[in-house]
Amino acid sequence: MNRNTIILLIAFLVTASTDLFAEAPSFRRDVMPVFFRAGCNSGTCHGSARGKDGFMLSLFGYDAKGDYFRLTQELIGRRVNVAAPGESLMLKKASGQVPHTGGKRFDVESPYYQTLLKWVEAGAPDDPMNVPEPVEIKLEPDRLLFDVGAVAKPTVVTARYSDGTTRDVTKLALFNTNNPDTATVNADGVVTPGKRGDTFVFARFNRFTIGSEVIVLPKDSAIQWSNPPANNYIDELVYDRLQKLHLLPSALCDDETFVRRVYLDLAGVPPTVEQYRSFMSDANPKKREVLVDQLIASDEFAQVWTALWAESVRLMGGGYAPTGTDVKAAEAYYQWIHEQIKSNRPFNEFVAEQVTATGSNLTNGPANLYTMLVHNTRFTPKEFAANFSQLTMGIQIQCAECHNHPFDRWTMNDYYGFVSFFTGMKRKLGAEPREMYIFNDRSMQPAKHLVDDRPVPATVLGGEAAVPEMGDKRKALAEWLAAPDNPHFARNFSNRIWAHFFGRGLVEPVDDMRISNPPTNKPLLDALAKRFADSKFNLRALVRDICTSRVYQLASQPNETNAGDTRQFSRSRLRRLRADVLLDAIVVATSSERGFSYFPRGTKAIQYYPRTPGDTEGPNAGDPFFATFGRSRRGSICVCETRTESNLSQALHLLVGDTIDGRVGGGQVVPKLVAAGKSPDEIVEELFVRTLSRKPTSEERTAMRELIGDNVKDRKVYEDIFGSLLQSTEFGFNH
């Protein structure tokens, strides 16, 4: 460095510092951002609900007034000493001059220290009313493209304030990455690429979070785009993304894979032998579309989506009257849901009717949203609002009960405004003990803000103003929610529908949509949501688009480019069957019924919901098979209540439990095949088709023949084969 640069640098530093403190720093605008940046008000430090070492700041600064009090007035003269500013404990601690559990946060020379010092020197003034507050932040560039090993790139965060001014807040923001393997970001916002892939880096400032997409491509990748044909917009948008990421889609799956996949997804059961044969022998080149249409129109389709909705609203039947979840109420709700799905009621109307429902839980099914979504002897508006938002919008607002959401846009105002839609909801005993009458008491006060007890009138999420104070406010909520331009509703449900067919949402988990959890393919999610809204929220239309796309029909076998892809749908994902689908699949394959306690004979697993003679407050999967295989126990609103991971007890259950053993050994499938005088080859083939919806490979045939040997009439050996097929991983998965 030569002399001139040094002089220049000094000149720059001087101007910068004088510029910064032309006037006394403002507590909200200058001082609090330092606490944010230095981590003082984070959840593990003074931002914890009980503070740290006797000093509390509001988490990420949601309560400026309270922070000002605690800093300057709670212990007068200690944390802040206006007589000898440098003696202020706040400054001594933060700069590590005295012992501090949180260690040294910044240097005495740093601009952070200087800001705080100048503020104390000015007498630690509180701000006048109406100090400009940030209304938006920007992170630039909003997209970063790297080759593996490329040099790091800086980002800049700009805040816009309510008075129209903007300010570079890069040095006051916090940064993080969603996947440090793909890209890291340091404290100054500089992004360094890692392994190939795509992710997001985020900047947070004040109550805002914003992301920039980062794509890291393999160096010198010379991938020739394969130009696969596209059936519809889904294919186009997925391909577009794959092309950008230098991924090639796998080939289309074969007919055998397709027929099993689409039956399991749309009808909740594998194809029967006859259904398999009829599809395989169909020469129509459009036969896949035909099958999709046929299945979408089936009763089974309605059963699957009834089960999914019942599960997501935590539908259960009990015998404990004060919770309002009597079996009769549950059945009324279940039947109502089934009718709506069967008649293809526009999905927005379907949800809206539940939102505004009142009346008897026994006779008006949809009113049970207010008994089921929260299982409690009392109606709890906060819990209900949180569950409701998570279900209908995929948004988790409950963080904002105690502080502004740290990684999303939701504030405490949003939260309490939303809760206020439900503060009037009440339940009273009806004409008979099982009956609960659900109504909205309009005289009830809105929810009160935690910080200052201010009543916050009912306001939709992100709404500028409260809804008009007349009548049942839920009507306004339902109208807003069901409107085609609602920013959350269509996106949430099209994402959930997508996830049903791909084992993963475009936003994952599907019930945690937030700015810091962006979709892996935003144009696709936008298009699906638009299509859903444009079709008047026609569930079957969207499902048809998905199932007839080539993306849905891709094989699971990877190619040399996409083996590592788990987020961009370049190949089919192996999905363990849902517990209810698995049980129904066993029943279909073995032609042997399975009964359920408290349900009539002939009830399918997919039609089952937990029924108990006791109360419904705790989690309950109902049937033990469901508990083992992870069907939702409905203990909370979380989609994670439905588990599809494999574990040892599942394997043991299939091996030694009576579900398969009893059905194979006690069933009629094998005896009938043997009695019909079929050849060993024919019997083996039929067993393969029954279970795996495919014919055995030649290696499998040879192996089976060796196994059977001379015992061609011995049902025991066929039953062993049958049982093994049912226990196989292939049977338990959709692939």
Which chain residues interact with other proteins by CB under 8 A? 54, 69, 73, 76-79, 81-85, 87, 89, 92-93, 98-100, 120-121, 123, 377-378, 448-449, 451-455
Q: Which of 24, 541 has the CB closer to other proteins?
A: 24
Q: Which of 38, 506 has the CB closer to other proteins?
A: 38
Q: Is the separation of the CB atoms in 198 and 167 below 8 Å? A: no
Q: Which residues have C-beta within 8 Å of that of residue 716, sequence separation ≥ 6?
A: none
Least distance (Å) between residue 14 CB and other proteins: 22
Least distance (Å) between residue 96 CB and other proteins: 11
Calpha distance 353→344 (Å, rounded) = 14
Q: Which of 54, 677 has the CB closer to other proteins?
A: 54
Calpha distance 398→217 (Å, rounded) = 38
Least distance (Å) between residue 33 CB and other proteins: 23
Least distance (Å) between residue 332 CB and other proteins: 26
Q: Which of 87, 255 has the CB closer to other proteins?
A: 87
Which DSSP state fits 486? -
Burial of 314-334, coded b for 16+ CB within 10 Å and e otherwise, reads bbbbbbbbebbbbbebbbbbb
Least distance (Å) between residue 453 CB and other proteins: 4
Q: Which of 88, 398 has the CB closer to other proteins?
A: 88
Least distance (Å) between residue 337 CB and other proteins: 31
Q: Which of 56, 215 has the CB closer to other proteins?
A: 56
Calpha distance 574→733 (Å, rounded) = 6
Least distance (Å) between residue 64 CB and other proteins: 15
Least distance (Å) between residue 569 CB and other proteins: 47
Least distance (Å) between residue 90 CB and other proteins: 9
Least distance (Å) between residue 449 CB and other proteins: 8
- Helix, strand or coil for residue 198? strand
Calpha distance 149→135 (Å, rounded) = 37
Least distance (Å) between residue 120 CB and other proteins: 8
Least distance (Å) between residue 53 CB and other proteins: 9
CA 256 vs CA 324, 369, 557, 694, 727: distances in Å: 47, 41, 14, 6, 20
Six-digit token string for 591: 């032609």
Q: Which of 274, 453 has the CB closer to other proteins?
A: 453
Q: Is the separation of the CB atoms in 170 and 156 below 8 Å? A: yes
Q: Which of 11, 76 has the CB closer to other proteins?
A: 76
Least distance (Å) between residue 647 CB and other proteins: 36
Q: Which of 89, 692 has the CB closer to other proteins?
A: 89
98: nearest Cα among 87, 111, 82, 113: 87
Q: Which of 453, 464 has the CB closer to other proteins?
A: 453
CA 582 centroid distance within chain: 23
Q: Which of 99, 600 has the CB closer to other proteins?
A: 99
Helices (H), 343-411: 347-355, 369-372, 381-393
**For 49-79, what is the HEC assignment?**
CCCECCECCCHHHCCHHHHHHHHHCCCCCCC
Q: Please list the residues that pair with 139 across neighbouring strands.
A: 157
Six-digit token string for 404: 């502004």
Six-digit token string for 660: 């398969």
Least distance (Å) between residue 108 CB and other proteins: 16
Q: Rounded to 5 degrees, what angle do the CA atoms 480, 483, 488 make?
A: 75
Q: Rounded to 5 degrees, what angle do the CA atoms 368, 374, 378 make?
A: 90
Torsion (CA) 606, 611, 617, 619 in degrees, nearest 10: -40
Query: If you count DSSP H runs as helices and E runs as strands, how many of each does the chain have, helices first?
Result: 28, 15
Least distance (Å) between residue 103 CB and other proteins: 14
Strands (DSSP E) contained in 186-342 are 190-193, 197-205, 208-217
Q: Is the separation of the CB atoms in 459 and 420 below 8 Å? A: yes
Least distance (Å) between residue 124 CB and other proteins: 9
Burial of 463-491, coded b for 16+ CB within 10 Å and e otherwise, reads eeebbeeeebbbbbbbbbbbeeebebbbb
- Share in percent of the chain as helix, strand, coil (round to 5): 45, 10, 45
Instruction: Output phi, psi for 458, to 5 deg.
Output: -60, 125
Question: Residue written as tokens 């997925």?
Answer: 238
Q: Which of 84, 151 has the CB closer to other proteins?
A: 84
Q: Which of 89, 157 has the CB closer to other proteins?
A: 89
Calpha distance 274→271 (Å, rounded) = 8
Burial of 676-710, coded b for 16+ CB within 10 Å and e otherwise, reads eeeebeebbbbbbbbbbbbbbeeebbeebeeebee
Least distance (Å) between residue 86 CB and other proteins: 10
Least distance (Å) between residue 279 CB and other proteins: 58
Size of the chain, expressed as the number of residues it contains: 735
35: nearest Cα among 63, 5, 74: 63
581: amino acid identity, one letter: V
Q: Which of 120, 174 has the CB closer to other proteins?
A: 120
CA 73 centroid distance within chain: 43
Q: Which of 377, 597 has the CB closer to other proteins?
A: 377
Q: Which of 94, 330 has the CB closer to other proteins?
A: 94
Q: Which of 445, 597 has the CB closer to other proteins?
A: 445
Q: Which of 56, 291 has the CB closer to other proteins?
A: 56
Six-digit token string for 401: 């009960």
Calpha distance 625→642 (Å, rounded) = 13
